[in-house]
Structure 1
């Protein structure tokens, strides 16, 4: 029974010293928390910006639909309802809008790649410091 208590006390002391040795100082922990909070705020800002871009794109799409309907109505009234000419005009306009949208998408992809590279670098730095 005496050796059992000694063994339990030894294991308990070992666990306590291990926890104490592996614990980070409060200042370092506080700095890491601040860094994490900063990173979270950055991500929130990026998410909000992306949401705003999505809303703007939806608004543009709705405006485009309304514009197309209005143009169709006007063209049908003024061009004697020639569908071929109407469709050609609409296709040209749609091609221009698609080109603009493709350019916007490429820029967004480029921005995302830059962001991913920056995140990878940050993660690598954190892993090297041991604060991952």
Structure 2
């Protein structure tokens, strides 16, 4: 009698374990978050990276400017004018890049707004 109960318990245990192993996950269970939330997370990460890059670029430029100022203190004459011209050109390039980056962000925002409006109407 005891052996029959033990065998029955073992068989039921194996059946339940095998049933759990073959159980399929629900179709979209892996999509816990809405796509919109993921898109915002990606956008935030991108902005953080961009800010970090800009900060690093600014620090490098400050170091370069300080080096040039020290060099200016040692040398004088026409060299200072050339260094100032170079610094002005660098600032112009930086301004153009920032304008380009701003335009790109505006286009991206408009595109996302259009996509959100389209999703909202459907």
Taking structure 2 as the reference length, the TM-score comes to 0.60
Quote how far apart the aligned CAs of 1:78 are: 3.4
- Show the 5 A alignment for 1:22-61: 37-61=34-58
**Root-mean-square deviation over aligned CA pairs:** 2.7
Segments of structure 2 that go 5 or more residues without pairing to the other structure are: 1-27
Quote how far apart the aligned CAs of 1:82 are: 6.2
Greater relative CO, 1 or 2 (CA 8 Å, sep 6+): 1
Alpha-carbon distance between aligned partners in 2 of 1:80 and 1:105, rounded to the nearest angstrom = 39
Q: Deviations over 1:8-47 (max 9, x none)?
A: xxxxxxxxxxxxxxxxxxxxxxx8xx69622212211221
Taking structure 1 as the reference length, the TM-score comes to 0.56
Over 3 Å counting, the alpha-carbon distance change for 1:113 and 1:35 in structure 2 is farther
Q: What corresponds to 1:66 in structure 2? A: 63
Alpha-carbon distance between aligned partners in 1 of 2:97 and 2:117, rounded to the nearest angstrom = 30
- Show the 5 A alignment for 1:60-99: 60-80=57-77, 83-99=80-96
What is the number of residues matched between the two proteins? 93
Quote how far apart the aligned CAs of 1:121 are: 1.4
Segments of structure 1 that go 5 or more residues without pairing to the other structure are: 1-30, 126-132
Structure that is richer in helix per residue: 1
